[in-house]
Structure 1
């Protein structure tokens, strides 16, 4: 069975980047988006959802001036037009599921733990480490 990848939907990371505005290309609400997703993270989420995908690292979103590269092509429909995964019938539903999975992605969990492990060793609000003026 030959699949035509040009018929697959394209997902740019900027579509679900909470740091971007709607005018800059974000397509989800900020509450549904995640911070600075990458094409490889989106690919990992598609693999978790058992969807065929391919990462195109050399491609960039036309309105993105930051130069973030990469996009993901995902197969949502079979050759006959039926959905590959009945739970994901459209691009919007795919973006919502990927953005939800992104918060549980292994690279994001490690970042969160690193920030949470720091402890306050100084005493008081002054930031002087408990030293008092003489």
Structure 2
């Protein structure tokens, strides 16, 4: 009987990571759990999952809502469950000893994702548009 209970609780023992925990746009009161300068701007569950899967972690996504999230849009839904300890209590990976280790690692790696680096290319064109605006002002003189 105890063995069955252990199997059921296996996934319940996975750590829970909501995107709000590492969102640099959130305040501590809104759920951010790491320093804002180490956070990521509006991370998604998919990005968190991709980073942890690439790191070789056992991960799955749940369609749950963070209780402090006021926006009910689909893009703000979801939480990631990640296993950091095996059934015998040993760490899955030595570099991840705590929830904070996981959050800081994810926040560091998300900006390096291809989807993020391509988006930053778009912001460069925004800077060029800004320069174009300056040229327009010169013409008005």
Aligned to 2:58: 52
Give per-residue Cα distances to partners, 1:69-122, cap 9 Å, x unaligned.
100000000000010001101110010000000110111111101111352345
Q: Secondary structure at the match of 1:26?
A: coil
For normalisation by structure 1, the TM-score amounts to 0.88
Aligned to 1:64: 69
Number of residue equivalences:
128
Aligned to 2:49: 43
Partner Cα distance (1:97, 1:123) in 2: 40
Aligned to 2:19: 13
Aligned to 2:31: 25
Partner Cα distance (1:93, 1:77) in 2: 13
Partner Cα distance (1:107, 1:26) in 2: 23
Higher mean C-alpha displacement, 35-44 vs 114-123: 114-123
Partner Cα distance (1:115, 1:12) in 2: 27
Written as runs of structure 1 = structure 2, the 5 A alignment for 1:1-134 is: 4-56=10-62, 58-67=63-72, 68-118=76-126, 119=128, 120-121=131-132, 124=135, 127-128=136-137, 130-132=138-140
Q: Secondary structure at the match of 1:54?
A: strand
**CA RMSD of the aligned region, Å?**
1.7
Q: Secondary structure at the match of 1:59?
A: coil
Q: What stretches of structure 1 move > 2 A for 4+ residues in a row?
A: 117-124, 130-133
Partner Cα distance (1:122, 1:26) in 2: 36
For normalisation by structure 2, the TM-score amounts to 0.84
Which of the pair is proportionally richer in helix? 2
Give per-residue Cα distances to partners, 1:41-82, cap 9 Å, x unaligned.
0000101110000011x2011111112210000000000001
